[in-house]
Amino acid sequence: MSSDIRFTDFKSDEQPTWCPGCGDFGTMNGMMKALAQTGNDPDDTFVVAGIGCSGKIGTYMHSYALHGVHGRALPVGTGVKIANPELEVMVAGGDGDGYSIGAGHFVHAVRRNVDMTYVVMDNRIYGLTKGQFSPTSREDFETSTSPDGTNQQPVNPLALALAAGGTFIAQSFSSDSQRHTEIVQEAIEHDGFGFVNVYSPVGDEEFDHDRTDYDAAKDLIMDRDKEYQGVIYQDENSIGFETREGVTEPMTDIPDGAPDDAMDLVREFY
């Protein structure tokens, strides 16, 4: 495809069925714009979507995509990117998908630092199953399964990411489409795991610390009273896992038979 990719090229012909006013619309538009603005095209892009309202993104976007099993989107993205580092890999899902059923994978994907982007639509609720509390729901949040509040602490995904050695930790507000797009674009450009928590309700102000300042990032992330927008921490020397492992070429092309020197493998057993 030519270089004049527009963000609408990433739109499928399916109409989103999200509720009117849902933050997922803005989140997805920002993802499509960011992909187009970073010079990607649908045939070289792989989107992995989780299960949830947010996971439907895979359906409404046009690219190579897999809409997988609840909570396992990150491992799929990991496999795609390593097997073909030439693809732009974007993983998207909800707070339940990423921080509850998939929480184990989240921590390990952060530490592994594969060069891909992870966009979480953090609406602090289980949307698809119609309104149960989620791992990011606040303690006093009343839902059908928490009529008296959740009686448990919400998880702080940004802190989890920082503790796991994250190299790009950001938060955007789905309501601020321009900033959201810019932040996702930076996550795409980051060499490593670009993590963007998209906070759906309207949040607080911007901040102005140096993004490479770990301690400043820590203070901001641990501030439980406010929600900030922006790239909170970035390790500018980050190198993606697949690069560190020496993977440079797609693994897709293989010879028509066993490799030329394959008898050497047998001889090793003499």
Partner 1 sequence: MPDDLNWAIGGEAGDGINSTGKIFAQALSRAGRHVFTSKDFASRIRGGYTAYKVRSSVDAVESVVDRLDILIALTQRTVDENLDELHDGSVIIYDGERTMMSDFEAPGEMTGLDVPLKRLAEEAGGAIMRNIVALGAACEVTGFDIAFLDESLEKRFGGKGQAIVDNNKEAARLGAEYVREEMVVETDYDVDTTDNDLVLLNGDEAIGMGALAAGCRFYAGYPITPATDVMEYLKGRIEDYGGIVVQAEDELSAVNMALGAARAGARSMTATSGPGIDLMTETFGLVATSETPLVICNVMRSGPSTGMPTKQEQGDLEAMLYGGHGEVPRFVLAPTTISECFHKTVEAFNLAEKYQLPVYLTADLALAVTEQTFEPEEFDMDDVEIDRGKVVDEESIEEWTDEKGQFRPHAVTDDGISPRALPGTTDGAHMSTGLEHDELGRRTEEQEMRVQQVDKRDRKVETAVEREDWSCREFGDPDADTLVVSWGSNEGAMRDAIELLAAGGIDVRFLSVPYVFPRPDMTDEVEAAEDVIVVECNATGQFADLVEHDALTRVERINKYNGVRFKADELAEEVKAVLGEPADAEVEAR
Ligand X SMILES: Cc1ncc(C[n+]2csc(CCOP(=O)(O)OP(=O)(O)O)c2C)c(N)n1
145 Cβ contact list (under 8 Å, min separation 6): 132, 133
255 binds partner 1 (CB under 8 A): yes
- The interface with Mg ion within residues 121-150 (CB under 5 A) comprises 123, 127
239 binds partner 1 (CB under 8 A): no
CA-to-CA distance for 91 and 115, rounded, in angstroms? 11
Q: Of 5, 34, 35, 51, which lies in the binding site for ligand X, with binding defined by CB under 6 A?
A: 51
Please give the helix or strand (H or E) that residue 94 lies within, else none: strand 88-94
Residue 165 binds which entry of Mg ion, partner 1, ligand X, none, with Cβ cut-offs from 5 to 8 Å by kind?
A: none
Please give the helix or strand (H or E) that residue 47 lies within, else none: strand 45-49
CA-to-CA distance for 23 and 57, rounded, in angstroms? 12
72 binds partner 1 (CB under 8 A): yes
At residue 59, φ and ψ (nearest 5 deg) are -75, -35
Beta-ladder partners of 89: 46
Which of 31, 30, 28 shows the shortest CA–CA distance to 14? 28
Total residues at interface with ligand X (CB under 6 A) = 18
Nearer to ligand X, 50 or 240 (CB): 50
58 binds ligand X (CB under 6 A): no
First to last CA, the chain: 52
Residue 225 binds which entry of ligand X, Mg ion, partner 1, none, with Cβ cut-offs from 5 to 8 Å by kind?
A: none
Which of 166, 139, 156 shows the shortest CA–CA distance to 199? 156
Q: Any idea of the CA torsion for 176, 233, 65, 200, to the nearest 10 degrees?
A: -30
106 binds ligand X (CB under 6 A): no
If DSSP codes are grouped into helix, strand and coil, which group holds residue 85?
coil
Q: Which one of 130-138, 150-158, 177-185, 258-266 is the stretch in contact with partner 1 (CB under 8 A)?
A: 258-266
Q: Of 1, 19, 202, 222, which lies in the binding site for partner 1, with binding defined by CB under 8 A?
A: 1
CB of 93 to ligand X, least distance (A): 6
Total residues at interface with partner 1 (CB under 8 A) = 60
CA-to-CA distance for 53 and 64, rounded, in angstroms? 19
Q: What is the contact mask toward Mg ion in residues 67 to 106, using x (rule: CB under 5 A)? A: ---------------------------xx-----------
| Buried/exposed code over 126-158 (b: 16+ C-beta within 10 A; e: otherwise) | bbbeeeebbbbbeeeeebeebeeebeeebbbbb
Give residues in contact with ligand X (CB under 6 A).
51-54, 70, 93-97, 121, 123, 125-129, 134
Give residues in contact with Mg ion (CB under 5 A).
94-95, 123, 127
Give residues in contact with partner 1 (CB under 8 A).
1, 12-14, 42-46, 48, 58-59, 62-69, 71-72, 74-84, 86-87, 104-105, 107-108, 242, 245-247, 249-252, 254-259, 262-263, 265-267, 269-270
